[in-house]
Amino acid sequence: MMTNPHRYLIRMLIFLLVVFTIAGLLYAPLLQAFMGNPALNGVILGALVLGILYSFRQILRLDPERRWLMNVQKSGKLDNRQVKPVLLATVYAMLADQRQESQLSALSLRSVLDGVAARLDEGREISRYMIGLLVFLGLLGTFWGLLQTIGAVGAVVGSIDTASTDFDAMMKQLKGGLDAPLSGMSTAFSSSLFGLAGSLILGFLDLQLGQAMGRFFNELEDWLSAFARFNDRPGAADANTGALAAGMSEEAARALIHLGNSIAAGEDNRAKVLDQLTNVNMTLAALNEALSDDRRLREQLAQLNAGIAQLSADLAEDRSKSSLAVTTELRTLAGAINKMAAGNRAAITPRRPKES
């Protein structure tokens, strides 16, 4: 929950009310002092009024920035319909960057907070200048009045007639001549009075403004610290990485860290590729051996086929020879049988008697 800057505004209003009350009680002497040199004192009071208005304006500038930040904290995202903040421009740029990681590194957090602090300090520069301006105008009136006093005193001293014996006339002349030095002293002291009083008033208002801005900045820093990542890489490489990234920009440090992570991932992938290549080599060796065995088997099968073909040819030749021999034997046997049959028929047939 962000602190409402109106609490500091109330303190400033109470302080100004007290100052105006005291000024009202001292109205007569203050008016007489103001008339000592109305032009210079009017410039001093005008600068005081401008400084007061500017201090109130700077306090009121924190209110829309606070409401915008509270809406972002509640919703967790940016609302484009809202007016973009001025003092929190770096925070808006960080949240609007879609490439931003979920956590901020220490360098990113420092750059964001430095941008906000620079804008807050820039808002207080005019207030500080107005405090110094009031002191300067008071001193300027003091020296101006002293110069008038010194010149008037010199003129009074020079106008006194020392040869005259009329003491009353000399005193009247001296009394009339002291009006100018007293007017110069009135200018000197009145300008110093208004200048120093105005610087005190603006100093208190600037103090409240600084407290309001300081509380706003501290609460913003506490909220952003929840997103901070103070170590970009865990492990033993943190010291080296932090020391290396300290001398370069945030983008270069982040790119270097990503490069280191990519190199580490590449080394892991290279080891896996080497293991896969080893497995592939083993598979290729086994396949080559299988191919060699297959080639030897094909050669043995070819030799076996040649042997079977030769055996078939030999069997066919032997079968032909056997068939030829059997045929020859059968023919011989058939011839012998025929001869035997013819002899038997001749023996059985009776001989016819010869005719006388």
d(CA 304, CA 298): 10
Tell me the average pLDDT of the chain: 77
Cα distances (angstroms) measured from residue 300 to each of 161, 289, 307, 313: 156, 17, 10, 20
Q: Evaluate if residue 278 carries a pLDDT over 80.
A: yes
Is residue 276 in a domain?
no
pTM here? 0.58
DSSP run (H or E) holding 176: helix 167-177
Task: Residue count of the chain, please give it.
Answer: 356
Q: Which two tokens stand for residue 137?
A: 């105008």
pLDDT, one tens digit per residue, over 237-254 is 444 444 444 445 556 666
The dihedral built from the CA positions of residue 305, 311, 314 and 319, taken in this order, carries a sign that is: negative
Give the up-direction half-sphere exposure of residue 298: CA atoms within 13 A in the CB hemisphere: 6
> Which residues make beta-bridge pairs with 221?
none
Is residue 307 in a domain?
no
Is residue 27 in a domain?
yes
What is the pLDDT confidence band of residue 262, given thresholds at 50, 70 and 90? confident
What mean pLDDT comes out for the span 304-325? 81
Is residue 218 in a domain?
yes
Q: Evaluate if residue 30 carries a pLDDT over 80.
A: yes
- pLDDT at position 111 is 77
Closest Cα partner for 256 from 268, 244, 238, 243? 244
Is residue 321 in a domain?
no
Q: CA-based Rg of the chain, rounded to a whole angstrom? A: 62
> Which residues make beta-bridge pairs with 105?
229
Is residue 344 in a domain?
no
Is residue 115 in a domain?
yes
| Number of independent structural domains in the chain | 1
pLDDT, one tens digit per residue, over 116-142 is 888 888 888 888 899 999 999 888 888
Domain that holds residue 163: 6-230
